[in-house]
Each structure stands twice: as structure tokens, then as C-alpha cells.
Amino acid sequence: MAKQEKTKSIEESLWQACDKLRGSVESSEYKHVVLGLIFLKFASDKFEERREELIKEGKEKYVEMKDFYNMKNVFFLNETSRWSYIKENAKQDDLALKIDTALHNIEKNNPALKGALPDNYFSRLGLDKTKLASLIDQISEINTIADKQNDIVGRVYEYFLAKFAIKEGKGKGEFYTPKSIVNLIAEMIEPYQGIIYDPACGSGGMFVQSVKFIENHHGNKKEVSVYGQEYTNTTYKLAKMNLAIRGISANLGEKAADTFGADQHPDLKADFIMANPPFNQKDWRGKDELTDDPRWQGYDVPPKSNANYGWILNMVSKLSDNGVAGFVLSNGALSGGGDEYKIRKKLIENNLVEAIVILPSSMFYTTDISVTIWIVNKNKTEKKVDKGTETREYRFRESEILFMDLRQKGEPFEKKYIQFSNTQIEDIANTFHTWQTDEEAYKNIPEYCYSATKDEVIKKDYSLVPSKYIEFVNRDENIDFNTKMTSLQTELKDLLVQEEASKSELQNVFKSLGYEL
């Protein structure tokens, strides 16, 4: 417990140091400042550890040879790229230039980091040198590799990404998916081995949690390959840094690029897809662009007014014959007409939609709308899969869809947000896997889950709205739960206002009669 408290204080002190940059740089920028320096400190700590190891082994003559570091998956750092050098020069006027040079040399000497690190970033920002030096002092206090059991640097990354997403508000921080949602997807689709793909990978959080899932279940992370794509250049670099820190080798394409307009992995077939693509993306293709794209083969062309079904079909096209995908979309994709209806109908008829899981509102830092996890599975035949420490037998329900409503789940987080606890994630995933594997053990539960046959879905005109299938006690299925709750909350506030007004009026009446309340 003491270690957790110490780690938390590190995170908080770094956040406070980061906040001191305010005024000299935009808040949307200083996450790159802090995370870039954290990367530099971590790389240096790993280098120094390996260097001491070589000296103890009597190999002093090899301490400046790159190969003896790379063989242990340690980045080689020349003298001016080491944290000790940066710290010694923290009071110099050219500190920003020295940091840029250090990062440039690390990338130059380590091909795996090509395109990952900021390019001349610190010099261009024109940071206040006193504040930057103070930040160097704060980070110098962290031994990033002291605790071998806990991923301190990884926790700092997660803490900062979440904090920045919260701080930047709507329209910002789209790259960050709350960890409990990513953990739930991982526990549901179980990416133990094979190719993992994320077409909108942001800072790489899906990959990080996938690897953590494998490690937590005693699997081997060397049995997975990671592929992804990211549109925003700064976030693309952030993802490469994030993954490098965790020792995760990934192919994110040659550059940051639009998944639709410049697919970096056109021939990829993935065993697992995990994604949180942008919600309700408008004008994602021109009028005649992408109309003949092979990713839509067998389906109607997704409408240009909304990219939701473009993302779905992109992922379906990337799945291997045994592939499974878990991704997040806004609730609007569950129903509606036009081309989206035609695509949704064909997905259901092709038995691809395995589960629809509606999430509570206020889980995301950038929007308060309720969203949905889709599980799309190409292989619903009987099979046995080695799951690390166990072998699980699957009897997939070929013509059924599991609907789950989690809007009454979750616990408070950061005062105004909701997240799932580890116990809740385990319970939800167990419900899903029980439904998959044991027809007798699985039971429909009112206000929580329901297994619908394809015929039932057809009767509902191919709607995937969970409330149309899940039994709600004494509740009209045509009333949206979130809307109703908002309405009731508004009514309650109005009643409280009226009550205060009535009290005031009553007090005035008594005062007029000469009484004081």
C-alpha cells in the first residue's frame, strides 16, 4: 500500500509541476513537454542500469557499444542524451536545445523509434527556462525503474493522459479512451495471441491494455503483433513513445495518416480489433471518393454524413476468418434508416454482430453521452482456444445476439465521471463468456442482459437498441432510460426551487402577522 501512495504522490507532484508551465505554453501542448521528458528519463534510467550491468560483468570496454544495449531491448544513449547531462545543464540558457538534441540523437541511434520523438519541439515552444528547469528537477526525483513489479512510468502516462483529456474538455483529448472501458473490451474479446489492430489508435491505450491483459492471465506478449493507425501527427508520436516505454513493438504505419484516405495496412487480416473511433464523424469522404473502396465489398457505401458505418466496415474487412472485434460507437449507430440501415441489416443477416453493450453516460472525459460497445465476431462455430492457463470450449450462438445494459453499473471517478471497478469488469465479462459457452448456465436478467434470436431482431426491424429486448420492470420500452432520468432530475430540481419559493412566501405571510420564523 505504501508503494501505491508514493507512486500517487509522484503523479500528483508532476501534475503540479506541469501546471506551472501555464502561461508560457498552451495547456494543449504541455502534455507533450512532460511526457517527452518522462520518456527521456526512463530511457536514461534503463541505459544506466544496463551500463552498470556490463561493468559488473567485466565488460567495461563494451559500455559505449550500441549492440550490447539493443540485445537487451535497451535504447542506446550517447553522453549528451543521458539524463545526468540534462540535469547538469538544467540552468543553462540553451536547455531546450539540449533536450531537443538528446531526443534527436536517441531516435537517430535507435531505428525502432523512427518518427516517435518530438522534432525540435522544446526550442520551438520558447518555454520559460526557469519553469523548464523546475520541471527537470521534479522528474529527476523519480527512479522510473525502481519498482520492477509496478509499471511506474506507465502509470504516470495513464494518469497524465486521463488528466489532460479531462482538462482539455469537449473537442479535445479524443485520443484517450478511459482505461476501464478498454479493460472491459479486452476481457470480453480476450486477445491472447495473434494480430491486434486499432484503426484509430490515439495514444496506444488499447494496445497497452491488451498486453496487460495477456500478462495478467499468464500469457506471452511475444505471441501478439500490434498494428495501428493514427491521423494526428502529435498523437502518433505520443503513441510510439507510449508503446516504446512499455517495450511493445508496433507497426503504426510509416506516418500519421487518415485511415480512410490513406490506409497504412491495406492487406492486414487481424485476429483481434480494439478501437474507439471518432464519434459521428462528418464529411469523412468527398461525394465521389471511396465509393468503390474494397472495404465496402458486399455492403452498401457508408453515408458521407456520418463515418460510424465506415469504421464498422473498415474493421469487418480487416478481420481474419476467426477474427473478433470490440469497439465503441455512439448510440446513434444502433438504429436509424438509409444506407446505415441497409448495412446494419446485412451485418445481422451475416451473423457478424455477437453482442451490443450499452455503457453509462459520463464515462468519457470529452462527452457525456451514453455510448455502446459492439462485439463483432467472424467465427461463431465450435472451437477450443488455449487461454494461457486454461483451455476454454466455445459453442458460439450463431443466430443470436447478446444485449447488455450497463447504465446502472459503474462507480464515481474524479467526482463527475463514472468508471467500472475491476470486480464489475470481471462480472460483466463472465456474463458474456457464460452466454458464449454454457447455454444452460446463462440466464436473461431483467434490466441487465437478454439473448435475442435473429427472428426477434428482424421483428424489431433490425434495431440494435438494447432496451427493445432487455426486460425492464414496470418500464415502457419506448422510453429512453437516460432521457427519462434527465427529465426526472429536472423535475426534482424544479420541485426544490418551488419548495424554496413556497417557504419564502410562507415566511412573508407570518412576518405580516407579526411572527418571526
431-444 per-position pLDDT tens digit: 999 999 888 899 99
Q: CA 299, CA 293: separation in Å to the nearest integer?
A: 11
DSSP strand pairing (353-358 vs 400-405)? parallel
The DSSP element (H or E) to which 326 belongs, if any, is strand 319-330
pLDDT of 31 reads: 72
- Give me the mean pLDDT over the 25-46 stretch: 82
Q: Which of 212, 204, 302, 295 is nearest to 253 (CA)?
A: 204
pLDDT(163) > 70:
yes
Q: How far apart are CA 311 and CA 39, in angstroms?
A: 32
Higher pLDDT, 178 or 89: 89
Backbone angles phi, psi at 29, to 5 degrees: -100, -30
Confidence at residue 364, expressed as pLDDT on a 0 to 100 scale: 80
Phi/psi-derived region of residue 275, left when phi > 0, alpha when psi is between -120 and 50, beta in every other case: beta
Max avg pLDDT among 243-247, 398-402, 428-432: 428-432
* DSSP β-bridge partners for residue 417: 413
**517 pLDDT tier (thresholds 50, 70, 90):** very low
**Dmax (CA) of the chain:** 99
Report the pLDDT averaged over residues 352-358: 97
The answer to pTM > 0.85 is: no
